[in-house]
Amino acid sequence: MLAVVGTAVALTTVAATPATAGTAAPPVRTLGVTTTAQLPPLRQNAHVIGRDNGQSAGYAGRSVWIFDDTMLRNPDDFLANTGAVTSDLDAADGIDLESNNPFTEDSSTAPKQLLPLTDAERRFQDAHAAPCATGDEYCGTLFADWPGPVVADPARHRIIFSYGKLCRGAPDGTPCASGFVGTALGTGFAELDMRTHKVSRITVEHPDPAVIGAQPEGSDPTLMFAPGKEFASGSMVLKDGMIYTYGRCDTTANSCALARVPAARIQDRLAWRYYTGTAGDGTPVWSTDPDKAVPVGAGNGAAGSTIQYVPALHGYLNTFMGFYDNVGRYQTAPEPWGPWTTPKAMFTGLPTDQLWDYAMFAHPEYSRRGGLTQYFTYYRPQDTSQQLVRVDFDLAKN
């Protein structure tokens, strides 16, 4: 959510991991930061004033980006989500990201909303548009979907992202009151078909009636998790055909729980498994009961985090920007479930006197030196820009 109109939802992204083919992983190595550099902000579409929560995934030699709230000019507009794509995979001098959609590099017009409203949502909005009947508690209600983590699923020629559904704009004290953010309604998944260029919500198999039925418009079969119970708003990593996700993040404890599901069955609620700890030999233990999931020690920042496999590290790197302090941090682990090291500082964002910088994400498709050179973006409310930072790591001598 753009800081000028709301607040951010805490999300985590995890980048794709190579298959290990049954061999034991080398021991994870120790990282240290050597240099950092503030680079030019993202060069975006000429109609974009600002947009936040920019997360990305590499696909077929390009970088696909998905954003949350987007402010536009000429014509003026405010969209809940937009996308872009670029073949500029060298971030050393900045990133050209001027396209108006996530499939082609057309920059001739303004971006449009990426994830359209359903027919039921549109009818509900129209029925409660001003002027409203006396006592209409949904008067002025608008639906919005905030995209979360992004992962490429090349075996099925698609990009998958989670989204949090909310309603806002109604009078204070009503079910869809605007407040600072709005009212969370649930979390689902959507996909970009990279062959047909179609954007669609993924319908849930074996849905939870309490989730899909508790919607203002009646029912939404694309919602997987209830508010506060989501895993899809956490990380996504594709490893050995499985998508690992982090969610139910506790910002006080600075840790999230972990789930996984076969990529081909992400839509099947009964195929999900939840991490409950490790056996005596260190093997991870998974349960069918999401309420048995335990925190794994992976930190989560203001609007989210990025976890990725780093070849030079022989392990995983988690990066995030702390709440209210503009500091980008990192930690490492040998496996997605940990054990995670204590977070350390990488860099501090540009000074701001309007709220705080947030939504810092890594973009692994831009990394160099086996992942030891990383590029990060973060949203700066001061000027509504997407700032770009390079961080160079080195392996500790041991």
Please compute the mean of the pLDDT values over residues 125-133 and round it to a whole number: 94
Q: Which conformational region is residue 213 in: left (phi greater than 0), alpha (psi within -120 to 50 degrees), or beta?
A: alpha
**3 assigned to some structural domain:** no
SS (H, E, C) 237-304: EEECCEEEEEEEEECCCCEEEEEEEEHHHCCEHHHCEEEEEECCCCCEEEECCHHHCCECCCCCCCCC
- Residue 301: pLDDT band (50, 70, 90) is confident
Render pLDDT for 317-327 as a digit per residue (tens, 0 to 9).
Answer: 999 998 888 99
Please compute the mean of the pLDDT values over residues 159-170 and round it to a whole number: 95
Give 24's DSSP letter.
P
Predicted confidence at residue 1, as pLDDT, reads 54
SS (H, E, C) 333-348: ECCCCCCCCCCEEEEE
Report d(CA 172, CA 16) in Å as an integer: 42
**368 assigned to some structural domain:** yes
**312 assigned to some structural domain:** yes
Give whole-number Cα distances, 359 to 5, 252, 271, 320, in Å: 15, 18, 30, 8
Report d(CA 237, CA 368) in Å as an integer: 19
**4 assigned to some structural domain:** no
Predicted confidence at residue 304, as pLDDT, reads 84
- Residue 266: pLDDT band (50, 70, 90) is very high
Predicted confidence at residue 4, as pLDDT, reads 41
- Residue 29: pLDDT band (50, 70, 90) is confident
Render pLDDT for 32-84 as a digit per residue (tens, 0 to 9).
Answer: 999 999 999 999 999 999 999 999 999 999 999 999 999 999 999 999 999 99
Give whole-number Cα distances, 396 to 33, 104, 182, 312, in Å: 10, 42, 46, 12
Q: Is the pLDDT of residue 3 over 50?
A: no
Q: Is the pLDDT of residue 186 over 90?
A: yes
Q: Which of 23-27, 58-62, 299-303 shows the lowest per-residue confidence on average (mean pLDDT)?
A: 23-27
Which uninterrupted H or E stretch holds 124?
helix 119-127
Report d(CA 143, CA 201) in Å as an integer: 15
What percentage of residues in the chain have a pLDDT greater than 90?
A: 78
Domain count, the chain: 1
Report d(CA 130, CA 274) in Å as an integer: 44
Buried/exposed code over 268-307 (b: 16+ C-beta within 10 A; e: otherwise): ebeebbbbeeeeeeeebebbeebeebbbbbbbbbbbbbbb
CB 80 within 8 A of CB 169: no
Predicted confidence at residue 339, as pLDDT, reads 93
**7 assigned to some structural domain:** no
Q: What CATH number is given to the structural domain containing 241?
A: 2.115.10
What percentage of residues in the chain have a pLDDT greater than 70?
A: 92
Residue 344 amino acid letter: K
Please compute the mean of the pLDDT values over residues 290-303 and round it to a whole number: 90
Q: Which residue has the higher pLDDT, 251 or 93?
A: 93
Please compute the mean of the pLDDT values over residues 385-392 and round it to a whole number: 98
- Residue 255: pLDDT band (50, 70, 90) is confident
Predicted confidence at residue 8, as pLDDT, reads 39
Please compute the mean of the pLDDT values over residues 151-165 and round it to a whole number: 96
Q: Is the pLDDT of residue 20 over 70?
A: no
Report d(CA 253, CA 318) in Å as an integer: 16
Strand partners, 67: 82
Predicted confidence at residue 291, as pLDDT, reads 94
**195 assigned to some structural domain:** yes
**The two three-digit tokens of residue 113, written as one number:** 């909303």
Please compute the mean of the pLDDT values over residues 293-322 and round it to a whole number: 91
- Residue 6: pLDDT band (50, 70, 90) is very low
- Residue 221: pLDDT band (50, 70, 90) is very high
In the three-class reduction of DSSP (H, G, I as helix; E, B as strand; rest coil), residue 123 is classed as: helix
Taking residue 113's Cβ as centre, other Cβ atoms within 10 Å add up to 17
**264 assigned to some structural domain:** yes
Q: Is the pLDDT of residue 185 over 90?
A: yes
User: Residues 215-219: contacts with CB within 8 Å, 24+ apart?
Assistant: 215/185, 215/186, 216/124, 216/138, 216/141, 216/167, 216/175, 216/176, 216/185, 217/118, 217/120, 217/121, 217/123, 217/124, 217/143, 218/120, 219/120
The model's pTM is: 0.92
In the three-class reduction of DSSP (H, G, I as helix; E, B as strand; rest coil), residue 59 is classed as: strand
Average pLDDT, the chain: 90
**The two three-digit tokens of residue 48, written as one number:** 């974009």
Predicted confidence at residue 13, as pLDDT, reads 54
Please compute the mean of the pLDDT values over residues 101-106 and round it to a whole number: 98
Q: Which of 45-54, 121-130, 166-175, 297-306 shows the lowest per-residue confidence on average (mean pLDDT)?
A: 297-306
- Residue 190: pLDDT band (50, 70, 90) is very high
Give whole-number Cα distances, 139 to 5, 122, 142, 146, 185, in Å: 20, 14, 9, 22, 17
In the block, which residue shows the tokens 């992942």? 371
**2 assigned to some structural domain:** no
Domain that holds residue 93: 12-395
